[in-house]
Amino acid sequence: MSRRDEILAEMGLAPIWRLREKEGVSQEVVSTEKNEKTNDWIQLKQAVPACTACGLHKGRTQTVFGVGDENADWLLVGEAPGAEEDRLGEPFVGQAGKLLDNMLAAIGLKRGANVYIANVLKCRPPGNRNPEPEEVAKCTPHLLRQIELIRPKLIVAMGRFAAQTLLKTDATIASLRGRLHSYAGVPLIVTYHPAYLLRNLPDKSKAWADLVFAKKTMTTL
Ligand code: SF4
């Protein structure tokens, strides 16, 4: 059993992304799987903008699907689109997005290169209010489908809302940081949201520690 399998077994995980590389599988099968995956992405990218499952569709300019490398090892998950994201259709833009890009660069990562970025909710809550539980329940299947298709090795939940939603807990970020959790069978690490860090500069050092922990964890997966 490989070190990665040992760690996953210790965590009691039955990963949905297991066995990315399948030994002894013919090129024809690989090609068929790739085509199916491409079709699945196309379907999801059509389904999300057409979604009216919760009331947030009424106020959106557009859905914010997510962006990045669709075969990434890293999946970063935030809360919901803000005004700029709603306008541009991309998650983590503006000052918070710049900070996130800098944080990624500090651990040798780059948006779009082995990194995928998405939010729990695909539509902007009015006035940037907190998402309602029903909205989260309706939108979660979209995120789960993204996880199934990306098959990341590690999820980084950014901010209280993403962490509490994905881990189904009301525990504080402080109590969730520094430990390995799991979501949908994928190892998950909690850190602060870049927008929060812009308002709370002293916590940047904690976010840095979280990213170092994530980077170190990734080397074992
Ligand atoms: Fe659909 Fe999610 Fe938008 Fe609600 S927030 S309308 S569930 S895409």
pLDDT of residue 45: 96
Residue 55 is given by DSSP the state G
Residue closest to 152 by CA, chosen among 206, 214, 84, 86: 214
- Which pLDDT score is estimated for 2? 54
Q: How many CB atoms lie within 10 A of CB 23?
A: 5
Radius of gyration of the chain (CA): 17
Contacts of 78 (CB under 8 A, 6+ apart): 91, 92, 117, 118, 119, 120, 158, 159, 162, 193
- Residue 130 has a pLDDT of 87
Ligand 1 atom at shortest distance from the alpha carbon of 60? 3
| Percentage with pLDDT > 90 across the chain | 73
Query: Under a CB-based contact definition with an 8 Å cutoff, are residues 189 and 213 in contact?
Result: yes
pTM given for the model: 0.84
In this prediction, residue 35 carries a pLDDT of 80
Q: Distance between CA atoms of 35 and 22, rounded to whole angstroms?
A: 16
Residue with tokens 């990045």: 68
Query: Which residue's CA is minimally distant from atom 7 of ligand 1?
Result: 139
Instruction: For a ligand 1 pocket test, name from 122, 132, 143 the mutation site with the most ligand atoms within 8 angstroms of its C-beta.
Output: 122
Share of the chain above pLDDT 70, in %: 89
Higher-confidence position of 87 and 32: 87
45: Cβ contacts below 8 Å, ≥ 6 apart: 65
Residue-wise pLDDT for 105-138, tens only, equals 989 999 889 999 999 999 999 988 989 999 999 9
What gap in Å lies between CA 100 and CA 200, rounded to an integer? Answer: 14
Give pLDDT tens digits for 19-55: 444 456 677 777 777 788 888 999 999 999 999 999 9
* The pLDDT of residue 18 is above 60: no
Measuring from atom 5 of ligand 1, which residue has the nearest CA?
Answer: 123
Q: Give the chain's mean pLDDT.
A: 88
Burial 190-217 (b: 16+ CB within 10 A, else e): bbbbbbbbeeeeebeebbeebbebbbeb
d(CA 197, CA 191): 10
Residue 200, SS3 per DSSP: coil
Lowest mean pLDDT among 4-13, 139-148, 195-204: 4-13
Name the residue of 62, 79, 123 to mutate for ligand 1: max ligand atoms within 8 A of Cβ: 123
* Ligand 1 centroid – CA 124 distance (Å): 9
Length, in residues, of the chain = 221
Q: Which residues line ligand 1 (CB under 6 A)?
A: 48, 51-54, 56-57, 63, 121-123, 135, 138-139, 142
